[in-house]
Structure 1
Amino acid sequence: MQQIDTGADSALEWTAPRWQDFTKTQGGFTPEFVLHRFVHSGGVFAGPTRIDAAVRANLEGLTSLAPLHTKNALKIVDTVAAAFPLSTGIACFDTTFHETLPQAAFTYAIPSAWREGHGIRKYGFHGFAHDYADTRAREILGQSPVSKVLSCHLGSGASLAAIIDGVSFDTTMGFTPVDGLVMATRPGSVDPGALAWLLVNTSLRPSEMAHLLEHSSGLTGIAGHGDMKLIMTAAGKGDPEAVLAYEVWLHRLVGEMGRMIAVMGGVDLIVFGGGIGNHAWQARSDAVAALGFLNARIDPDTNRTAHEDMLISTHDSAVATVVLEAREDIAMLRSAGAAGALQESQSKEQ
C-alpha cells in the first residue's frame, strides 16, 4: 500500500504542482483508491463512502461543523482527483467509531426542537485514532485480559474515549471538535451560559465568537500560543502564563480521565497517543500520578525514554499503561475494507 500523508491540516501544502511532482517521482504511480479522512459525518454518512459529485456537495454542506478541517479536506479531495483522475476517492469519518455511544451518552439535555430539528447531539471525533489505540494496545499486552480501555489522544486537538470490549461507550468531544479537553486553540468545555451572556451583553457577533473559539482559545488563550513543548519548557522555568496554561490543561485532562473511568466502572488499560501523548513524558507522568488512588503506576525510566509502541506501567500496577504512535491510516483502511468500500477496486483486479 502506498501511503501519503494528506492530513487536513497540511492540505494547503499539497498543491496541484506538488501532486504532479509526486506522480513523476513515483514512476507513474497511480492509486486505485484514496482514503480521505473527514472529521464530521454530520449524521449524514454512516461509514466509508465513495466520493462522487453528490457526496462532495453533501460534505461541503458540513463545513460549518468542523471548519478547521473540512475546508482543507475538500481541497485535498479536489487536488487528488485532478492528479489521479482514475482513482476512486473514499471519504472516511472520524465520527463512525462513536456511533455505538448509548443514548444517555450522546443526548444533550436541551429542547427537543434543537435535538430533533437540528441534530444537536454528541458525535465524538478522533475515531480512527481511538480505534487504532484500542486495537494496538491490546496487541502490545498480548494475552492479558482487557475489557475497559481509556484512550487518550492528546495533540493540538485532543479527546478521550471510554472503550468497552472494543466499542466506544463515551468520549469528550461533542457536537463539534471544540468540546471536551483544553486544546491548542480550542477551549474544550465552556459554560454555555457564559457564551450566551457575551452575545447578549457585548458587541461580539456570533461569527466572531466562532472564530475565537476555534483559533484563539485553549492554550493559546492563556499562554499566547498552543505549542505544548514550548509551554512545558517555559513552565519549568517558572513562566507564570506557561505554568497556568499547563495546569489548566492537566486539570481538565485528569478530571475527564476520571469521568471516563467512572462511566466504564473502572479501567484495565490506559493508552496515550497523539503528539503530546506520544512524546511528552512529563504530561503522562503527571496524569497517571493523579490516578494513584487506582493503584495505577508507570515506570519513570521507561516512561521517560519511551520512543515507540510500548508498555510503560510497572509490574505491580493495577492498570496497564501503553504509549503508542497514532496510526489513523491503518484504522481507516480497516474501516473501509470492513464496510466494503474497496470492493469495486478489488474487483477490477480479478
Structure 2
Amino acid sequence: MSQKILAINSGSSSLKFKLYELPDQTVLANGHVDRIGQRNSTFTFEIHGKQNVQAEAMKDHLAAIQAVVNGLLTSHVIEHKSEIVAVGHRISHGGRFYTHPVRIDAAVKAKIKELSVLSPLHNPVNLAGIEALEKILPEAQEVATFDTSFHATIPAKAYMYGLPYSYFEDHDIRRYGFHGPSHEYVTLKARELFGEQQTHRMITCHLGNGASLCAELDGKSVNSSMGFTPLAGLLMGTRSGDIDPEIIPFIEERFHLSSEDVRKVLNQDSGLLGLSGISNDVRDLSEAAHEGNSRAQLALDVYVHQIQQYIGAYTTDLDGLDTLVFTAGVGEHSAIVRQAVCAQLGYLGVKLDEAKNQANALSIEAPDSQVKVAVIPTDEESIIARDIIQVLGLN
C-alpha cells in the first residue's frame, strides 16, 4: 500500500486540499470548498483531470474537512484512511515562535490557540482542522506550515512599530506578515520561469478574500502589507485593513462597543463588504458596479487604490521593480482588477497587453513594458507538502 500525504489549506472563507502519493509527489486528487458559511458554498473535487462540482452548504470548516475526507473515500482515491500517513496544515500566525515548519504536538496546538487572538479569522479554524483530522485520521502525523515563516527575513526597519520599545521587547508586538506559503511559491515559480536577474526586485500580490502584498529582494521577503495580525494592510473581503488607530476608541465610545465587538467589526463587517453593503466577493461587486451600483464601484476603487499605493511604496523599498506578480483568486482571475491596478503604474514602466490580460495569460505585459507582469496561480499546498516531507523525513 503506497503512502499518501494530505495538504490542507484553510482560508477565512475557503478550504483547499491536495492529496499526494509518495515518493514521486504525484497529485492524486485536489479540490476546494468556496464560500464556507454561506448558503451558496460549493465543493469542487478533481481526480485525474475530471472535475465534479457540488452545491453543498458548508456551515463551517469542520464540515468542509469532513466532506474532503468522505470524498476521497467514496471516490476510491483511497480505500482506507490509514493510507494517509501525514497531514500538513497551513497555520496563519506563528508569532516569533515558529520560523520553520514543525511537527504538531500538544505544545504546538496550545501555542496556535494562544496566538488566535492575533489571527481570529484563521488560527481558530486552523486548530479546528487539526483537531478534526486527529479524530478522522488518528494514525496520521500532522505538520504545521506557518504563514509568518517566509517573512522572517523582513528587516527591523520594516517590522518595527513606532510604539514603546518594551512592547516589542516584552510582548513581541511587531510586523510579521502573512500568506507566506503563497508568496513563497509564486516567488520560487517566478524565479524558475523568468530567471534570477528578471526577479531580482519583485512584488507579489496575493489578492483573495484576504489580501497582501510582499516585496522580495533576490527571493527573500523584505516587507509585507500585513502586520502584527492579518487585519493590517489592504482593505480585504471583510477586513478593514489599515485605519487611523483613533477610530477604535472613537467607535467604542460612540456605539458603546466592547473590544470584542470592535474586533468583529474590523474583521467581519468591514472591507469590501462593509463599503459596498453587498458582498465581500470581487466577482459580485464587479457585476454590481457594471450595473451602475455606486457603492460597489467605490469599494473596488478603494481596493485598487490601496494596492497601487503599496506597489509604489515597495518599489521604493526595492529601489526599482523588475517583476510584478498577481496571484490568488482575484489576482489570478480578475482581469478588471489587474487592468485597474496597472493603469496608474506607467511611471514605473508598467504596460499591459490587454488581450493577454483578458486571457489570464502567464505574462500579460506589453512588448515595450519595462516591468514583467505575470499571473501565476498559487500552489500553497505544494509548499505544505514539501514541509511535511522535510519535517517527517518522508521519501
Question: How does the TM-score come out when normalised to structure 2?
Answer: 0.82
1:214 aligns with 2:264: no
1:179 aligns with 2:232: yes
What SS class does the counterpart of residue 248 from structure 1 fall into?
Answer: helix
**Superposed counterparts of 1:66-145, under 5 Å:** 66-142=119-195, 145=198
The 3 A distance-change label for structure 1 pair 125 and 4 is: closer
Distance (Å, rounded) in 1 between the aligned partners of 2:197 and 2:172: 40
Match of 1:247 among 301, 310, 334: 301
The 3 A distance-change label for structure 1 pair 176 and 89 is: same
Task: Give the equivalent residue in structure 2 for 1:27.
Answer: 79
1:320 aligns with 2:372: yes
Task: Give the equivalent residue in structure 2 for 1:149.
Answer: 202
1:176-216 alpha-carbon deviations (Å, 9 max, x no partner):
00000110000111011222333345412111000111100
Amino acid corresponding to residue 87 of structure 1 in structure 2:
A
Stretch moving more, 14-23 or 151-160: 14-23
Q: Answer whether contact 2:203 2:216 (CA < 8 A) is retained.
A: yes
1:331 aligns with 2:383: yes
Q: Answer whether contact 2:6 2:86 (CA < 8 A) is retained.
A: no
Task: Give the equivalent residue in structure 2 for 1:341.
Answer: 391
Please state how far the C-alpha of 1:135 moved relative to its aligned partner: 1.2
Please state how far the C-alpha of 1:99 moved relative to its aligned partner: 0.2
Amino acid corresponding to residue 258 of structure 1 in structure 2:
G
1:235 aligns with 2:238: no
The 3 A distance-change label for structure 1 pair 263 and 6 is: closer
Q: Answer whether contact 1:133 1:326 (CA < 8 A) is retained.
A: yes
Match of 1:290 among 330, 335, 344: 344
1:263 aligns with 2:317: yes
Distance (Å, rounded) in 1 between the aligned partners of 2:69 and 2:286: 37
Please state how far the C-alpha of 1:284 moved relative to its aligned partner: 0.5
Task: Give the equivalent residue in structure 2 for 1:14.
Answer: 64
Q: Answer whether contact 1:38 1:73 (CA < 8 A) is retained.
A: yes
1:15-40 alpha-carbon deviations (Å, 9 max, x no partner):
55763563463112522221110000
Task: Give the equivalent residue in structure 1 for 2:102.
Answer: 49
Q: How many residue pairs end up in the alignment?
A: 341
Distance (Å, rounded) in 1 between the aligned partners of 2:256 and 2:263: 14
Task: Give the equivalent residue in structure 2 for 1:168.
Answer: 221
Distance (Å, rounded) in 2 between the aligned partners of 1:322 and 1:181: 20
Q: Answer whether contact 1:20 1:83 (CA < 8 A) is retained.
A: no
Structure 2 gap ranges (5+)? 16-60
Task: Give the equivalent residue in structure 1 for 2:356.
Answer: 302
What SS class does the counterpart of residue 145 from structure 1 fall into?
Answer: coil
Q: Answer whether contact 2:209 2:238 (CA < 8 A) is retained.
A: yes
Amino acid corresponding to residue 227 of structure 1 in structure 2:
D
Q: Answer whether contact 1:272 1:322 (CA < 8 A) is retained.
A: yes
Distance (Å, rounded) in 2 between the aligned partners of 1:17 and 1:227: 23
Distance (Å, rounded) in 2 between the aligned partners of 1:242 and 1:211: 22
Task: State the identity as a percent.
Answer: 33
Distance (Å, rounded) in 2 between the aligned partners of 1:335 and 1:258: 33
Distance (Å, rounded) in 2 between the aligned partners of 1:306 and 1:148: 23
Q: Answer whether contact 1:39 1:66 (CA < 8 A) is retained.
A: yes
| Higher relative contact order (CA closer than 8 Å, sequence separation 6+) | 1
Question: How does the TM-score come out when normalised to structure 1?
Answer: 0.92
Amino acid corresponding to residue 341 of structure 1 in structure 2:
V
Structure 1 gap ranges (5+)? none
Amino acid corresponding to residue 160 of structure 2 in structure 1:
T
1:90-110 alpha-carbon deviations (Å, 9 max, x no partner):
011010000000000000010
Please state how far the C-alpha of 1:67 moved relative to its aligned partner: 1.2
Q: Which has the higher strand share?
A: 2
Distance (Å, rounded) in 2 between the aligned partners of 1:198 and 1:27: 55
Stretch moving more, 294-303 or 152-161: 294-303
Distance (Å, rounded) in 2 between the aligned partners of 1:240 and 1:113: 46
Task: Give the equivalent residue in structure 1 for 2:363.
Answer: 311
The 3 A distance-change label for structure 1 pair 243 and 255 is: same
1:266-302 alpha-carbon deviations (Å, 9 max, x no partner):
1100000011100000110111121011221111001
